[in-house]
Amino acid sequence: MVDFKLHVLGCGSALPTTRHFATSQIISLRDKLYMIDCGEGTQIQMRRMRIRFSRLNHIFISHLHGDHCFGLPGLISTFGMLGRRGDLFIHGPKETEDYLQPILSRFCKGLPFEVRFNPIDTYRHALIMEDRSLNVYSIPLKHRLPACGFLFEEKATEAHLIREMADFYQIPVRLLQGIKQGDDYITPEGERIPHARLTRPSEPPKRYAYCSDTSFSPSIVPLIKGVDLLYHEATFSEADAARARETAHSTAAQAAEIARQAAVKKLIIGHFSSRYEDEQLLKLEADKIFPGTILAGEGLVVTV
Amino acid sequence: MVDFKLHVLGCGSALPTTRHFATSQIISLRDKLYMIDCGEGTQIQMRRMRIRFSRLNHIFISHLHGDHCFGLPGLISTFGMLGRRGDLFIHGPKETEDYLQPILSRFCKGLPFEVRFNPIDTYRHALIMEDRSLNVYSIPLKHRLPACGFLFEEKATEAHLIREMADFYQIPVRLLQGIKQGDDYITPEGERIPHARLTRPSEPPKRYAYCSDTSFSPSIVPLIKGVDLLYHEATFSEADAARARETAHSTAAQAAEIARQAAVKKLIIGHFSSRYEDEQLLKLEADKIFPGTILAGEGLVVTV
């Protein structure tokens, strides 16, 4: 049973409110955590949600607006005080290092770990990170400065061995791992027992796409086709569509239209403007196009 | 009736907890606000405490540790989005500008107001700011890098005119302002009516001293003698006195000892280490030396 979850730390936009923190999310998959964006207050939200600091090794920054990255200095300082050892990887537009390095040099002298920067070309759809559990791809977005979303694609897990079949054929233990990974079994008599008879298929790999901040951009649809969960920004309501265009943001209906065109399984919307006291209005507008849209909220955990 | 108050936005130390935000305070006096330190999350706390952003023109930074200044970029960005016009003055160690200016250049292009830096010599006790309502002086502290506290000294207000006396002597209206400010009145017959007979004295000017972060430093006692309210850091309990020495912080007992020697009227302690689940322990230790010590807390408002 694989555990691939989205944890929403903050889903407000640039102006702080009493309802929302600035943008940050954590993806948990198996024993690892991955952060997307790190607005002011992110480390405070991690504490509140009791998310373990030590399991986080990768941070993905979508673009260099303050509400997506002003939490990095405090978070990294805290990692230092907690005695973290492993390298911390920060994936983001190439200017991310120019922003952060002088602050680290001034405030975080002698960190017990390395901060490694992976500059992303935000205009390309490309593999930007890979580990045992997943691949992460960039998704070019349209905003007021270089910006990209992220596609988290789980790697296929091994098939489940059918114990009774393994016993029946008396398969040697040393061959079991290969069979789980796709081998057929050849009996001592030379009979080929196909992999599919010996195993049950694993869960299909899941995919999560994060798209914020962006104006309405149907060019991303092929890149996120059929994902299990899409987070798409929905800063404004239809009544403020002109403001969305001016500021290169999306309306709730536009977020839902992207989800519909990409035939995603679930849509969650966020990055709410501070002007809405109640975001149910945004959900209603999205639901008309993509029924069952989920409203993001601080502390919300969604299974991918 | 003058309104001189301390509003505690955050009173934790460097590591975030679910109980405390990093250091920040607001002083309100008459129609103006003054901020002391600006840790991460300060603007969020201002929203929660419903403190008006527009009335704040001066920010005082005690030293350049992240938990005292990582909230500045977000706060200044927000001021920009809210369309603030008046100059914003930042008083702090001279490195404050080196830290902040590159961030403002990158993230806050075209601010509709000026950010003006006033570099402070943290090793001197000197007047660093003066306006119609108060004088602010630096208080040299002993920490791991240049650090100073701040003494807020209210200016004397005018005496209150005794209306019946003014009527009795039929004092011309054009002379009333001068009398409130100290003039005697000379009647048409040449009789001198002393100021003290025509007025009731105003409230004596109040003083507030902020001392954080610092190791035990009796050299500050003459500078804060008899203040109405002293905020002194009390990061550690007696059991952790060695840790206080190593990190150039104070224990609760040391904070109380400074308050006792300076014969201050009220003491409030804060900058609590994350290791204490319950700061009542720190209050008990302080109370033995300075009875009635106040524990800081987020949202607390204390009259100076």
Q: pLDDT tens digit string along A245-293?
A: 999 999 999 999 999 999 999 999 999 999 999 999 999 999 999 999 9
| Residues B179 and B226 occupy one common structural domain | no
Provide the shortest C-alpha distance from residue A240 to chain B (in Å): 17
Examine the pLDDT at B185 and tell me if it is beyond 70: yes
Q: Please compute the mean of the pLDDT values over residues A184-206 and round it to a whole number.
A: 91
Q: What is the pLDDT of residue B203?
A: 83
Over residues B122-160, the pLDDT tens digits come to 999 999 999 999 999 999 999 999 999 999 999 988 889
Are A86 and A174 contained in the same domain?
A: no
- The percent of residues above 70 in pLDDT, for chain B, comes to 99
Residue B41 to chain A, least CA–CA distance (Å): 5
Interface contacts A/B by beta carbons within 8 Å: 82
Same structural domain, B64 and B152 = yes
- Residue of chain A nearest B108, judged by CA positions: A66
Per-residue pLDDT tens for B76-107?
999 999 999 999 999 999 999 999 999 999 99
- Give me the active site residues of A, please: 67
- A284 plus A267 within the same structural domain: yes
Of the candidates A41, A43, A106, the beta carbon closest to that of B44 is on: A41
- Whether the predicted pLDDT of B119 surpasses 80: yes
User: Of B149, B178, B200, which closes a domain?
Assistant: B200
- Find the closest chain B residue to A48 by CA distance: B18
Which residue of chain B comes nearest to A19, CA vs CA? B48
Q: What is the CATH number of the domain that holds A133?
A: 3.60.15.10
Q: Kindly determine whether residue A43 and residue B16, on different chains, have CB atoms separated by under 8 Å.
A: yes
Number of domains within chain A = 2
Do B70 and B182 lie in one domain? The reply is: no
Q: Do A103 and B107 touch (CB under 8 A)?
A: no
Quick one: A143 and A207 in the same domain?
yes
Which chain B residue shows the shortest CA-CA distance from A15? B78
A16: pLDDT strictly greater than 60: yes
Report chain B's C-alpha Rg in angstroms: 22
Q: What is the pTM of this model?
A: 0.91
Of B178, B200, B222, which residue sits at a domain end? B200
- Tell me whether residues B66 and A48 touch, CB distance under 8 A: no
> Which of A16, A70, A102 minimises the CB distance to B73?
A70
Choose the closest CB to B66 out of A17, A67, A73.
Answer: A73
Pairing of strands A134-140, A148-154: antiparallel
Residue whose token pair is 């790999």:
A205
Cβ <8 Å between A14 and B106? no
Could you give the dihedral angle defined by the CA atoms of residues A78, A81, A87 and A92, in that order, rounded to the nearest 10 degrees? 20
C-alpha to C-alpha distance for B82 and B113, rounded to whole angstroms: 11
Q: What are residue A269's phi and psi, to 5 degrees?
A: -110, 150
Q: Are residues B32 and B145 in the same domain?
A: yes
Please check the confidence at residue A177 and state whether its pLDDT lies above 80.
Answer: yes
B118 and B173 housed in the same domain? no
**pLDDT tens-digit map of B270-302:** 999 999 999 999 999 999 999 999 999 999 999
Say which residues have a Cβ less than 8 Å from residue B287's Cβ, sequence separation at least 6: B256, B293
- At A2, the pLDDT band (50, 70, 90 cuts) reads low
The rounded mean pLDDT for chain B is 95
A54-68, A192-206, A222-236, B223-237: range with lowest mean pLDDT = A192-206
DSSP structural state of residue B83: T
| pLDDT given at position A121 | 98
Q: Chain B residues with CB inside 8 Å of A14's CB?
A: 77-78, 81
Residues on chain A touching B71 (C-beta within 8 angstroms): 40
pLDDT score for B202? 85
Q: How far is A186 from chain B (nearest CA, A)?
A: 59
At A202 the pLDDT is: 85
CA–CA distance, B208 with B231 (Å, rounded to integer): 8
Q: How far is B74 from chain A (nearest CA, A)?
A: 7
pLDDT digits (tens, 9 = 90+) for A28-52: 998 899 999 999 999 999 999 999 9
Q: How many C-beta atoms lie closer than 10 Å to residue B96's C-beta?
A: 21
Full domain range(s) for residue B242: 4-157+203-303
Tell me which residue in A47, A102, A107 faces B16 most closely, judged by beta carbons: A47
B60 pLDDT more than 90: yes
Residue B1: pLDDT over 80: no
* pLDDT at residue B172 is higher than 70: yes
Query: Do residue B116 and residue B72 come from a single domain?
Result: yes
Residues of A in contact with B18 (CB under 8 A): 47-48
Q: Which residue has the tokens 């196909």?
A: A194
Identify from B19, B44, B298 which residue to disrupt to test chain A contact, counting A C-beta atoms within 10 A and taking the largest count: B44
Q: Which residue of A has its CA nearest to B109?
A: A65
List the single residue in B43, B102, B107 with the smallest CB-CB distance to A102.
Answer: B102
B44: nearest CA partner in chain A:
A16
B99 CB neighbours in chain A (<8 A) are 103, 106
Contact A143, A214 (CB under 8 A): yes
Instruction: For residue A1, give Cα distances in angstroms to A136, A157, B25.
Output: 21, 10, 48
Digit-coded pLDDT (tens) for A103-159: 999 999 999 999 999 999 999 999 999 999 999 999 999 999 999 999 999 998 888
Mean pLDDT of chain A: 95
Distance (Å, whole) CA A184 – CA A196: 8
Q: Residues 86 to 115 of A: which have CB under 8 A from any B CB?
A: 95, 98-99, 102-103, 106-107
Hey, are the CB atoms on B15 and A78 less than 8 Å from each other?
Answer: yes
Q: How far apart are CA B249 and CA B232, in angstroms?
A: 10
The whole-number pLDDT of residue B2 equals 58
**Is B168 at the interface with chain A, CB within 8 A?**
no
**Are residues A173 and A104 located together in one domain of the fold?**
no
Query: What are the residues whose beta carbons fall under 8 Å from the beta carbon of B139, sequence distance 6 or more?
Result: B125, B148, B149, B150, B151, B209, B210, B211, B220, B223, B224
Residues B209-231, mean pLDDT to the nearest whole number: 98
Q: Return the SS3 of B224.
A: coil
Contact B77 A66 (CB under 8 A): yes
Report long-range pairs for A191-200 (Cβ below 8 Å, ≥24 apart): A193/A165, A193/A169, A195/A159, A197/A165, A198/A161, A198/A162, A198/A165, A198/A166, A198/A169, A198/A171, A199/A159, A199/A160, A199/A161, A199/A162, A200/A159, A200/A160, A200/A162
Cis (ω within 30 of 0) for the bond into A213?
Answer: yes
Q: Are residues A207 and A64 in the same domain?
A: yes
Using the Cβ of A17 and the Cβ atoms of chain B, whether some distance falls under 8 Å is answered with: yes
Asked if A16 and B77 come within 8 Å (Cβ–Cβ), the reply is: no
Same domain, A131 and A80: yes
Alpha helices in A60-123, H assignment, sequence order:
66-69, 72-81, 95-107
Share of residues in chain A with pLDDT > 90 (%): 92
> What residues of B act catalytically?
67
- Mutation target vs B (from A9, A40, A43; most B CBs, 10 A cutoff): A40
Percent above pLDDT 90 for chain B: 92
pLDDT for B31 beyond 90: no
Chain B, residues 57-86, CB within 8 A of chain A, namely: 64-67, 70-71, 73-74, 77-78, 81-82
Does A169 reach chain B within 8 Å, measured CB to CB? no
Write the residue in A67, A81, A98 that is nearest to B14 by C-beta: A81
Q: How far apart are CA A93 and CA A118, in angstroms?
A: 8
Give the residue on B whose Cα is nearest the Cα of A20. Answer: B44
| Band of residue B22 on the pLDDT scale cut at 50, 70, 90 | very high
